[in-house]
Chain A
Amino acid sequence: MTHRPGNAEPGTTRLRTLLVANRGEIARRIFATAHSMGITCVAVHSDADAAAPFVSEANVAVHLPSGYLDGDAIVAAAQRVRADAIHPGYGFLAENGVFAQKVIDAGLTWVGPAPGVIDTMGDKIAAKKAAEAAGVPTLPSTEDPSKASAVGFPLLVKAAAGGGGKGMRLVERAEDLDGAVAAAQREAAGAFGDDRVFLERYVRRSRHIEIQILGDGYGKVIHLGDRECSIQRRHQKIVEEAPSVRLDDDLRRAMGSAAVALAESIGYESAGTVEFLLDDDSGDYFFLEVNTRLQVEHPVTEEITGLDLVREQLLVAAGNPLTVDQGEVTTSGHAIEVRLYAEDAANGFLPATGTVEAWTTPVEPVVRWDAGIQAGSVVGVSYDPMLAKVIAHGPSRTEAIGRLRLALERLHLGGLITNRDYLVAVLDSPEFAAGDTTTDFIERVRPAARLADDTVHQAAIAAALWRQGRNRATDGLWGFAPSNWRNAGLPPERVTFVDPSADGQLTIAYTADRNGRFTLDSGEVVDVIEWTPDRIELVVDGIRRSHRMTEAPNRLHVQTTTTTVTLDLVPRFTLPGSDVSTGGLTAPMPGSVVEVRCTVGDRVAAGQVLVVLEAMKMEHHVTAPFDGTVTEVPITVGQQLDRGTALVTIVPDDDPDQTEGTPGS
């Protein structure tokens, strides 16, 4: 509390200029509240973010040549523009006690808990000890097999030096313990040369539950209820909701009290989150960690409590007491957040990059869009590829689900691969509807995005006829004449797209009459009711639909009832030679080359690993699609690649023409 400036009377101090040491959606989120409180905002930005929307939304922006982890540069920036406070957002330096101390030492206000609290909670062992000291349950474990009953069953026997599952044994009953310990010790000794093992409580079906806490500089701590964030992929949450369906009032109260007890015991100030693992079967909960910052998923709490967490943070940081007492905290309805990512859910959630060519949020249903991007934004490899958080609040969970699903379906989004359809599949699953959301949800339920059979065809019709309308609107000579007007006859106009739902292409061929009615080769009769530069409304065989449309070079993003279908145009003409080198293996994602395991002339077998790539800390193996001989390896270790970069070309064995192989990985 030494960092609070001055000795002004509580409730009257305020911040004047706030620097947000972050980027994207959270920077915008913080600006929004700060602006509403009359606080001037300062952005900092890296090279990659120079054109990002958050930069221009601040009053002032300062360039950070070496990025968001350069604490000295950030503090210097704040001093240069005479900011009086720094909000770290989440990620980057948000949980860095050293940085927090630097901010304070520079005479600035740090929006967050005290550096000491950050440090303590950042140390897993210290945090667990603090939790235990505050009487908060932690996951029981022991190195002494005789104390197994204190851990409880089922439990895991784990090798102390272990990893990769070696030496691990699941024990359901006490009578199996000795055998399992012995076996684990033997295996551990063999694998690691170290036979030490320990026992840890095994939670078969778990949920991730967290409690939002809020503390002020006067020793007051309250909690704002729970959030459930069990649905995770690659250890990152993608769906969060409040309140959790699993908690009853008693459990909710108990967990809330536990969180407050811990927070009080460490003198917690500002917003924070106490995370728990909940045993879905028993209802036992165990402390995991404290996040000493604003969480990504804080909006669901805001939605059900009606409180603005950033506002509370800023008030507290300015030295004011909390505006609410625990007894005044009420919740209403249900809120769900999904994280919209540029990633390929069907392909191991590999991160995707590209330009957000289409981005228009629907007017209805009303949901909260916390977006870091706008139409035209480029999503690169430098940062987490989250595009936006979408938060729906409804009187009931069912309504919130429906609202969120519909908002996602009606979102006009294209230009890069995203998890939108995957999120819709999650929301649509019966398991999610039933609240059966344990941490193994994704592996267990395996949600898969599905397009209705007709969707792509309808989108292709809309795209072809929208393009037709564009062509007519831009005909500066005979624009007055009906589309495709002929006094005798020519073959139908043909528009060919790459089929987004299957291998191959799809073609829409049409003729038109003088009244603007189109007849398709596929048999449909289509009337175009209205064409505008960003929309087409048409009647296809009696069904009227309106499609938002965005054109990008050689591509159209078509809004359908359930998603945005992106159709790449197959040009009428191809330049000779332009299709020569398409036969090789290409990078399935942007990333760097970690290893190249083949050279030109190598004989390779189908399935053999040829190249190892890394992106977003994940390795990806590129394998030979068939037996053959390597003819080209245009990459080197360490090279940064874009998605689609050629990696290796293989000539298949059984190809008499020695033509190049088909892509695959």
Chain B
Amino acid sequence: MNRTLLAPPLTSAVDPSSEAFVRNRTDLLEQLATHDDLLAVALGGGGPKATERHRSRGRLPIRERIANVLDPDTPFLEITPLAGYGSQYALGGGMVAGIGIVAGIECVIMGNDPTVLAGALTPYASKKWMRALEIARDNRIPYISFVESSGGDLRIDKKAGNGRSEAENADAASAAVGSAVVPEHFAETGRFFYEMIELSKMRIPTVCVVFGNSTAGGAYQPGLSDYNIFIKQQSHVFLAGPPLVKMATGEISDAETIGGAEMHAEISGQAEYLAEDEMDAIRLCREVVSHLNWRKPDRGPRLVDEPPAHDPEELLGLVSRDLRTPVDVRDVIARVVDGSRFEEFKPRFGPSIICGWASVHGFPIGIVGNNGVIYPDSAQKAAHFIQLCNQIDLPLVFLQNITGYMVGKDYEADGIIKKGSQMINAVTNSTVPHLTVIIGSSYGAGTYGMSGRAFGNRFTFLWPTAKIAVMGPKQIAGVMSEVRRAQAKRKGIEFDEEADAELVAYAEAVQEKGSLALRATGAISDDGIIDPRDTRTVLGICLSVVGNRPIEGAESYGVFRL
């Protein structure tokens, strides 16, 4: 492989000694430090005491289980490690999920953290689980589950929102902004079981290792998996444990008899493999994956993997914390793509969207990035570019820093709705994999047009500087103030300026907090916050993962309103 793109490297006039750069960098490092502190908490699962208790029973913490199943020294791309941030649930949501290499095969691995509520399914765990299943399905990669779960969270009066202090109210209000996890009715639950068996139908292998209790609903995880590995004297799998059986039928029995690993391996046939202990179970899991005869349809990188000509360290100084300073997205591209080579498409037309071709770790891609608000012509250019990439089966990377589509009479007259819709149509019906990185703002319809989470992208990652909302906090607070003012005028009552100013400030603060990257990732509305310096690695891993499914561009779109 000795081919490179022929486009020359981007020039990039970033001055690392400038005041703005230094300030941006300091801010970003501070945000990363906060992120690291939160990660440290998340990594601790249910805390040292619960972990110690778990260990004292001869069991490995979930992260050790995962570390041991991975091929030595290979990376692990974890999905939403900070799920549950801003809620009253443990950081991480009581579950670890991610993509790793097992026996030379890219797999999704999801595992309950038994140190958190005994692995009970919190709303966050459920959503994360759904995301893990989605990754397996969309990318066609094997699905491994490490199950040790007491089942649904049956506790009452402990739900988020009950009995919280005044001080926590604003926090909770901000959590409700955008996309908080809304409690479901039982009648809507259980979709993960549907998804699991769908995977099997799609010939995506599902391998389940039961490390402890897997009760009731949990029992269907091994029930619906292709391969089950149970551990002697440790795995207990049953629809109802001894207390419920006694309640239901009066039968008195013990866990080992009702659902012990040996019973399942020898009598019920629920377990294919009987492991001696946890490490043996992990060994068997690797053996199973190794026999899957897994073949990737995409033959992988086809261009030379050159480091960027500009130092990725400098990604730390490009974006300001308040997002008001414009960022030339080409400065980001220059620090992410191979050799900083970037062939820009239509540079002189619709310049607020940057489109062009590049490669990351040898994987060829098309890039769509924002250099300001989207105008009618930039929307058209993007729609055109997305179709070109579909024509040649090229994955697309979206670098979001978008406050939205331009408003105002001139732009309405120029067809901003129509042309913006062309772009959304192209994005929606594009069938090449989309990888989205939100480096700054992600507001309103801009979020959608730039292949946001709801638009079927394969992965969404955030820089710590990302803010995601229907519009900017100031705009939301201001709009609401205007509405109140109009209401007062209509009703003929005096407008209380002082009270309104207070409300505006409060609303802005709440919206600001709610738009932060941490809130988004806490709600599992993305795949996690990444260090900007890891962008290239993350994209490379994702580009490899998406190659497990044929990369084929769209053959048809919805009606383009021309």
Chain A interface (Cβ within 8 Å of chain B)?
467-468, 471-472, 475-478, 480-491, 493, 495, 514, 572-576
Q: Please determine whether B280 and A485 come into contact, CB atoms closer than 8 angstroms.
A: no
Q: Please determine whether A472 and B73 come into contact, CB atoms closer than 8 angstroms.
A: yes
Q: Range of interface residues on chain B? A: 35 or more
Q: Please determine whether B541 and A471 come into contact, CB atoms closer than 8 angstroms.
A: no
**Contact mask for chain B residues 54-80; partner A; CB cutoff 8 A; 1 contact, 0 none:** 000000010110111011111111100
A4 to chain B, nearest CB (A): 66
Q: Please determine whether A514 and B43 come into contact, CB atoms closer than 8 angstroms.
A: no
CB < 8 Å neighbour of B74 from A478, A489, A575, A576: A478
Q: Please determine whether B104 and A482 come into contact, CB atoms closer than 8 angstroms.
A: no
A595 to chain B, nearest CB (A): 39
CB < 8 Å neighbour of B101 from A467, A478, A572: A478
A478-B538 in contact given A483-B73, A486-B75 (Cβ < 8 Å) = no
| Separation of A489 and B70 alpha carbons in the complex (Å) | 13
A79 to chain B, nearest CB (A): 58
| Separation of A481 and B534 alpha carbons in the complex (Å) | 9
| Separation of A491 and B72 alpha carbons in the complex (Å) | 12
Q: B537: CB under 8 A from chain A?
A: yes
Q: State which residues 41-97 of B face A: CB under 8 Å.
A: 42-43, 61, 63-64, 66-68, 70-78, 81
Q: Given the complex, which residues of A lie within 8 Å of B283, measured CB to CB?
A: 572-573, 575
Q: B27: CB under 8 A from chain A?
A: no
A505 to chain B, nearest CB (A): 15
| 3 residue pairs, one from A and one from B, having the closest CB atoms | A488-B81, A485-B75, A573-B283
Q: Given the complex, which residues of B lie within 8 Å of A478, measured CB to CB?
A: 74-75, 101, 540-541, 544
11 additional A-B residue pairs with CB within 8 Å, beyond A467-B73, A475-B73, A477-B106: A472-B73, A477-B544, A478-B75, A480-B537, A485-B75, A487-B76, A487-B534, A488-B39, A490-B66, A572-B68, A572-B72
| Separation of A575 and B283 alpha carbons in the complex (Å) | 9
Q: Please determine whether A477 and B73 come into contact, CB atoms closer than 8 angstroms.
A: no
Q: Given the complex, which residues of A lie within 8 Å of B537, measured CB to CB?
A: 480-482, 485, 514
Q: Given the complex, which residues of A lie within 8 Å of B544, measured CB to CB?
A: 477-478
Q: Please determine whether B280 and A487 come into contact, CB atoms closer than 8 angstroms.
A: no
Q: Given the complex, which residues of A lie within 8 Å of B282, measured CB to CB?
A: 573
Query: What are 6 A-B interface contacts by the 8 Å CB criterion?
Result: A475-B71, A488-B39, A493-B72, A495-B72, A572-B72, A575-B283
Q: Please determine whether B78 and A487 come into contact, CB atoms closer than 8 angstroms.
A: yes
B167 to chain A, nearest CB (A): 29
Q: Given the complex, which residues of B lie within 8 Å of A481, measured CB to CB?
A: 75, 537, 540-541
| Separation of A35 and B249 alpha carbons in the complex (Å) | 94
- Which residue in chain B gives the minimum CB-CB distance to A482? B537
- Which residue in chain A gives the minimum CB-CB distance to B72? A471
A371 to chain B, nearest CB (A): 35
| Separation of A255 and B72 alpha carbons in the complex (Å) | 66
| Separation of A335 and B482 alpha carbons in the complex (Å) | 101
A310 to chain B, nearest CB (A): 51
Q: B476: CB under 8 A from chain A?
A: no
B229 to chain A, nearest CB (A): 13
- Which residue in chain A gives the minimum CB-CB distance to B77? A487
A408 to chain B, nearest CB (A): 34
Q: Please determine whether B362 and A476 come into contact, CB atoms closer than 8 angstroms.
A: no
Q: Please determine whether A490 and B76 come into contact, CB atoms closer than 8 angstroms.
A: yes
Central interface residue in B68, B300, B362, B530, by most chain A CB within 10 Å: B68
A553 to chain B, nearest CB (A): 16
A576-B276 in contact given A480-B540, A484-B73, A488-B43 (Cβ < 8 Å) = yes
| Separation of A219 and B485 alpha carbons in the complex (Å) | 131
Q: Given the complex, which residues of B lie within 8 Å of A575, measured CB to CB?
A: 283
CB < 8 Å neighbour of A573 from B42, B280, B362: B280
Q: Given the complex, which residues of B lie within 8 Å of A488, measured CB to CB?
A: 39, 42-43, 78, 81, 98, 528
Q: B305: CB under 8 A from chain A?
A: yes
| Separation of A574 and B98 alpha carbons in the complex (Å) | 26
Q: Given the complex, which residues of A lie within 8 Å of B63, measured CB to CB?
A: 489-491
| Separation of A52 and B43 alpha carbons in the complex (Å) | 56
| Separation of A614 and B89 alpha carbons in the complex (Å) | 70
Q: Please determine whether B43 and A489 come into contact, CB atoms closer than 8 angstroms.
A: yes
Q: State which residues 276-291 of B face A: CB under 8 Å.
A: 276, 279-280, 282-283, 286
A513 to chain B, nearest CB (A): 10
Q: Given the complex, which residues of B lie within 8 Å of A471, measured CB to CB?
A: 71-74
Q: Please determine whether A486 and B106 come into contact, CB atoms closer than 8 angstroms.
A: no
CB < 8 Å neighbour of B530 from A476, A480, A487, A573: A487
- Which residue in chain A gives the minimum CB-CB distance to B548? A477
Q: Given the complex, which residues of B lie within 8 Å of A574, measured CB to CB?
A: 279
Q: B384: CB under 8 A from chain A?
A: no
Q: Given the complex, which residues of B lie within 8 Å of A493, measured CB to CB?
A: 67, 72-73
Q: Given the complex, which residues of B lie within 8 Å of A475, measured CB to CB?
A: 71, 73-74, 101
| Separation of A489 and B68 alpha carbons in the complex (Å) | 13
Q: Given the complex, which residues of A lie within 8 Å of B530, measured CB to CB?
A: 487
Q: B533: CB under 8 A from chain A?
A: yes
- Which residue in chain A gives the minimum CB-CB distance to B80? A488
Q: B513: CB under 8 A from chain A?
A: no
| Separation of A501 and B39 alpha carbons in the complex (Å) | 39
CB < 8 Å neighbour of B279 from A467, A472, A482, A573: A573
Q: B361: CB under 8 A from chain A?
A: yes
Q: Given the complex, which residues of B lie within 8 Å of A476, measured CB to CB?
A: 104, 300
B527 to chain A, nearest CB (A): 9
Q: Given the complex, which residues of B lie within 8 Å of A487, measured CB to CB?
A: 76-78, 81, 528, 530-531, 534, 538
| Separation of A475 and B42 alpha carbons in the complex (Å) | 29
| Separation of A467 and B72 alpha carbons in the complex (Å) | 9
Q: Please determine whether B534 and A477 come into contact, CB atoms closer than 8 angstroms.
A: no
Q: Please determine whether A514 and B533 come into contact, CB atoms closer than 8 angstroms.
A: yes
A491-B67 in contact given A471-B73, A486-B78 (Cβ < 8 Å) = yes
A508 to chain B, nearest CB (A): 12
Q: Given the complex, which residues of A lie within 8 Å of B106, measured CB to CB?
A: 477
| Separation of A484 and B100 alpha carbons in the complex (Å) | 11
Q: Given the complex, which residues of A lie within 8 Å of B40, measured CB to CB?
A: 489
Q: Given the complex, which residues of B lie within 8 Å of A477, measured CB to CB?
A: 74, 101, 104, 106, 300, 544
| Separation of A622 and B181 alpha carbons in the complex (Å) | 71
Q: Given the complex, which residues of B lie within 8 Å of A573, measured CB to CB?
A: 279-280, 282-283, 286
| Separation of A576 and B533 alpha carbons in the complex (Å) | 43
- Which residue in chain A gives the minimum CB-CB distance to B286? A573
| Separation of A481 and B541 alpha carbons in the complex (Å) | 8
Q: State which residues 190-234 of B face A: CB under 8 Å.
A: none
Q: Given the complex, which residues of A lie within 8 Å of B279, measured CB to CB?
A: 572-574
Central interface residue in A471, A481, A495, by most chain B CB within 10 Å: A481
B534 to chain A, nearest CB (A): 6
- Which residue in chain A gives the minimum CB-CB distance to B82? A488
| Separation of A471 and B75 alpha carbons in the complex (Å) | 11
**Contact mask for chain B residues 291-315; partner A; CB cutoff 8 A; 1 contact, 0 none:** 0000000001100010000000000
Q: Given the complex, which residues of A lie within 8 Å of B66, measured CB to CB?
A: 490
Q: Given the complex, which residues of A lie within 8 Å of B528, measured CB to CB?
A: 487-488
Q: Given the complex, which residues of A lie within 8 Å of B73, measured CB to CB?
A: 467-468, 471-472, 475, 483-484, 493
| Separation of A483 and B531 alpha carbons in the complex (Å) | 16
A480-B362 in contact given A488-B78, A488-B81 (Cβ < 8 Å) = yes
| Separation of A477 and B528 alpha carbons in the complex (Å) | 22
| Separation of A573 and B69 alpha carbons in the complex (Å) | 10
Q: Given the complex, which residues of A lie within 8 Å of B361, measured CB to CB?
A: 480
A122 to chain B, nearest CB (A): 61
**Contact mask for chain B residues 517-542; partner A; CB cutoff 8 A; 1 contact, 0 none:** 00000000000101101100110110
B556 to chain A, nearest CB (A): 33
Q: State which residues 391-408 of B face A: CB under 8 Å.
A: none
B462 to chain A, nearest CB (A): 11
Q: Given the complex, which residues of B lie within 8 Å of A480, measured CB to CB?
A: 301, 305, 361-362, 537, 540
Q: Please determine whether B75 and A484 come into contact, CB atoms closer than 8 angstroms.
A: yes
Q: Given the complex, which residues of B lie within 8 Å of A489, measured CB to CB?
A: 39-40, 43, 63, 81
| Separation of A576 and B276 alpha carbons in the complex (Å) | 7
Q: Please determine whether A491 and B64 come into contact, CB atoms closer than 8 angstroms.
A: yes
| Separation of A481 and B305 alpha carbons in the complex (Å) | 11
- Which residue in chain A gives the minimum CB-CB distance to B75? A485
